[in-house]
Amino acid sequence: MTSIRPTPPRSASAARALERVDDHAVLVAPRPGAAPDQPDLSTRRTWSRVAMATDLAIVTAVGVVGAATLPWFGAAHPLDAAGLVVALVLLLGAALALGRCWAPAVVSSGGLEYARVVHAGTGALLVLALTEVALRDYRLQLVTLVVLPVAVVAVLAGRGAARVVRHRRRRRGIGLATVLAVGSPESVADLVRRTRRAPEHGWVVVAACTPAGRGECAGVPVVGDLDAAADRARWAGVEVVAVGGAPGWTGRRLHELAWALEGSDLDLVVDPGLMEIAGPRLHMAPVDGLPMIRLTQPTFRGAGWVWKSVVDRVAAAAALVVLAPALLVLAAAIVLDDRGPVFFRQERVGRDGSTFAMVKFRSMVVDAEDRRAHLVAVDEGSGPLFKMRRDPRVTRVGALLRRTSLDELPQLFNVVAGSMSLVGPRPPLPAEVAQYADDARRWLLVRPGMTGLWQVSGRSDLSWEETVRLDLRYVENWSPGLDLHILARTVAAVVTGRGAY
């Protein structure tokens, strides 16, 4: 079988790591006299410095605008314009620094990055409000209630823009952190697949240590056994050591690996074997100094889900009102294309196995269901899903609707009716549910969604196993924050059209 090497990342540290690993593919031992390199973390540190400079510049700009506009509202305050700007920068800058919002590991951490900024902004607001109360001087109320919150929102927007740029660079192989994967061949191969599928997370596996200690795994060279992980990490010059499960890998051996890596800048990360369980269900429960992970049971009823249903229906109704003109234009285009009906209704399975009629804009010919039997031989879908990249049943207007996901807008009516949610698992067909294994049937514990992790992670490009894994992750770990995260990523997925056909 021909092995596939990962695309070489375009960064100095990654290039050195790949060069050393390629050498090791021929030489069983490192070259005599070769000194171990310390990993080059300049990329993460550069992003940290960029975040600091950008945040302070944004806060300064908001302060200048606030100082210039507050007099228009008759807001008197005890500081002049320059003093107001300086005070705002010092207060919010100190809060961001104390909250470690500029730590290299935080800047690239995704949700944690935004949470840290929000917590720092909240702390700064409380300090300013308490100062006003203590001094009994309320002339800074507009600064507290308007200028400071606007500055925090602006910082969040700046972090979001930087995140977009960072992800684009990573997809081009720039600025990726090199990783040594340690574990069984199965756990190493799984990590390699995940990092290749989602390079925007910033990892590329360049070497591995497995019990066998030689060969290759998922196209990545094996440079040593489990006991050699620390030496191999220093020798290859990687930035991250990722430990997965392996036979005989004990807590004691992990502890020894951590000791061996002390004094270096390498990150040590450990897969706890609970990849699809995270967020609010994970809690630390120490027992006599031993950290234990406590898993709470998932909930599928209660106030949180009631609130989600209310928000879904209100938001969907508002969207229908705003989008009504666009919906009429799309409906007219469908009719003019082939004189057929505007909507396509299909039976889908919802919460607790109940069925409902899902509504979409018709994107195929009228007799599409009858023609499907003749296309089974060329089905490109995975598992029970039927998919074709160039389905001959799709109309001209339908191809545009599918590529832009506009065909799914009528599902807002399903959301208002309560049979669907804005975010949730993929709504399956009854024939698909009949083929589900027990794990996939857990989808039916919640309402299906117009969008979900399956859509923002590749949609039709995903295998059946990946689709099941992503939707199970949503079902097991639902939270309002996860819904907001998916909705934000949906915008990018719709704009790029990745995986839509």
pLDDT in tens, 63-105: 888 888 776 655 555 556 677 788 889 999 999 999 999 988 7
SS3 of residue 358 by DSSP:
strand
- For the stretch 178-190, pLDDT in tens is 999 999 999 999 8
Does one domain contain both 492 and 381? yes
What pLDDT, on a 0 to 100 scale, did the predictor assign at position 361?
Answer: 93
Together in a domain, 355 and 478: yes
State the amino acid at position 382 in one-letter form: S
Q: Are strands 203-209 and 220-224 parallel, antiparallel or unpaired?
A: parallel
Q: Is residue 191 part of a domain?
A: yes
Say if 7 falls within a structural domain: no
Query: Does 483 reside within a domain?
Result: yes
218 shares its domain with 331:
no
Q: Are 309 and 418 contacting, i.e. CB atoms less than 8 angstroms apart?
A: yes
Is 3's pLDDT higher than 50? no
The rounded radius of gyration (Å) of the Cα atoms in the chain is: 27
- In a shared domain, residues 344 and 440: yes
Which is higher by pLDDT, 152 or 398?
152
Q: Is the pLDDT of residue 1 over 50?
A: no
Do 315 and 455 lie in a common domain? yes
Residue 291 lies in a domain: no
Residue 362 predicted with pLDDT over 50: yes
What is the CATH classification number for the domain harbouring 242? 3.40.50.720
Q: Are residues 130 and 220 in the same domain?
A: no
Domain co-membership, 421 together with 308: yes
**Residues 445 and 336 grouped into a single domain:** yes
What's the rounded mean pLDDT across residues 26-53? 56
Calpha distance 93→100 (Å, rounded): 11
**126 or 500, which is more confident?**
126
Are 471 and 425 in contact by the 8 Å Cβ rule? The answer is yes
Which of 145, 170, 195 terminates a domain? The answer is 170
pLDDT recorded at residue 143: 78
Question: Same structural domain for residues 134 and 211?
Answer: no
The proportion of the chain whose per-residue pLDDT surpasses 70, expressed as a percent, equals 78
Q: Is 293 domain-assigned? A: no
CB of 15 within 8 A of CB of 178? no
Confidence of residue 378 (pLDDT cuts 50, 70, 90): low
**Is 446 inside any structural domain?**
yes
Q: Specify the number of domains making up the chain.
A: 3
Task: Name 357's Cβ contacts closer than 8 Å, sequence gap at least 6.
Answer: 345, 346, 347, 348
pLDDT, tens digit (0-9, with 9 covering 90-100), for 339-360: 889 999 989 999 988 999 999 9
Mean pLDDT, range 46-68, rounded to an integer: 90
> CA torsion sign, 92 to 95 to 99 to 100?
positive
- Both 472 and 335 in one domain: the answer is yes
Mean pLDDT of 316-334: 94
Residue 241 reports pLDDT greater than 90: yes
**Residue for token pair 């977009």:** 164
User: Domain boundary residue among 255, 271, 287?
Assistant: 271
pLDDT band at 322 (very low <50, low <70, confident <90, very high): very high
Is the per-residue pLDDT at 60 higher than 70?
yes
Residue 320: other Cβ atoms inside 10 A? 16
Average predicted confidence (pLDDT) for the chain: 80
**Partners of 343 in the β-ladder:** 361
Domain boundary among 170, 193, 212: 170
Give the per-residue pLDDT at 11.
54
* Domain containing residue 450: 303-496
H and E: helices and strands count for the chain: 18, 12
For residues 445 and 440, what is the distance between their CA atoms, to the nearest angstrom?
10
497 or 456: whose pLDDT is higher?
Answer: 456
Least confident of 186-200, 254-268, 456-470: 456-470
Higher local confidence (pLDDT), 109 or 337: 337
Neighbour tally for 330: CB within 10 Å: 20
Q: Whole-angstrom Cα distance, residue 420 to residue 290?
A: 43
What is the structure's pLDDT at 283? 65
Pair (78, 98) in one structural domain: yes
The DSSP-derived string for 74-106 is: T---SS-HHHHHHHHHHHHHHHHHHTTTT-HHH
Distance CA 197, CA 456 (A): 13
2 pLDDT exceeds 50?
no
Same domain, 263 and 307: no
Rounded to an integer, the average pLDDT of 131-136 is 81
The pLDDT score that the predictor gives to residue 140 is: 72
Q: Is residue 390 part of a domain?
A: yes
Say which residue, 418 or 478, is predicted with more confidence: 418
Sequence-separated (6 or more) residues with CB below 8 Å from residue 482: 279, 423, 474
In a domain, 34, yes or no: no
- As a residue count, the chain comes to 501
Q: What average pLDDT does range 400-405 have in this prediction? A: 86
CA angle 459, 432, 377 (to 5 degrees): 80
371 C-beta neighbours (distance < 10 Å), count: 13
Residues 216 and 210: their CA atoms lie apart, in Å, by: 9
